[in-house]
Amino acid sequence: MKRLLSLLLVGALSAGCIVGNSSTSTTAAVDTVAVPTSATKQVVTTIYFGLGIGDKGDVIPPAAWEEFVRKDIADALPAGFTIIDATGRWKDNDSVVREPSRMLIVIHDGSPLMSRKLDQLRATYKSRFKQESVLRVDTPASLVSF
C-alpha cells in the first residue's frame, strides 16, 4: 500500500512538470508561469536616503524625515510607495562608515514624468539635508499585478 501511495504521489507531483502536444516531446520541462491577466510591465525604483549629516555622526531628526515623507514623497507619489529602514556601509578613506538610511521603493510605469518626479525627490533631499549623493536603482519588473 505504501508503495502504491508513493507511486501515486510521485506521479501527481511530476504531472505538473510535464507538458506535451503532438509536435513536441511529452517530457519537455515547463518554463512558463501562470500570470494574472491584469499583469503589466512596470519598473521598480529603489532610492536610498542616507540619514547622516556631515562628518560628526549627526543624523536627520525623525520629525524632519517624517515631514519630508509627508510633504514631498507622498505628494509626488500619491499612488503609493514603501519605505524600509536600512543601514548603509561604505569605505571612506581607511575607515568603514555606517549610516542609518531609508529605502524608498516605488513600482511605476517608467514614464519620463515619473522619472522626473523621482529625480526631483532626490534633488530636494540632497539640498535640504546637505547630502553628497542619493542612490537611485531602476529595475525592470516583467509582470506586476495588484
Please tell me the pTM assigned to this model: 0.72
The domain ranges of the chain are 1-32, 40-144
pLDDT tens by residue, the chain, 146 residues: 333 333 333 343 333 333 334 444 444 454 566 666 777 889 999 999 999 987 777 899 999 999 999 999 999 999 999 999 999 998 888 888 889 999 999 999 999 999 999 999 999 999 999 998 999 999 998 778 77
Measured CA to CA, the distance from residue 124 to residue 67 in angstroms comes to 13
Sequence-distant (≥ 6) Cβ neighbours of residue 18 within 8 angstroms: 26, 27, 28, 30
Q: List the grid coordinates of 26.
A: 511529452
Q: List the grid coordinates of 87.
A: 543601514
Q: Give the architecture (CATH level 2) of 40-144.
A: 2-Layer Sandwich (3.30)
The amino acid occupying position 22 is: S
Residue 50: how many CB atoms within 10 A of its CB?
Answer: 23
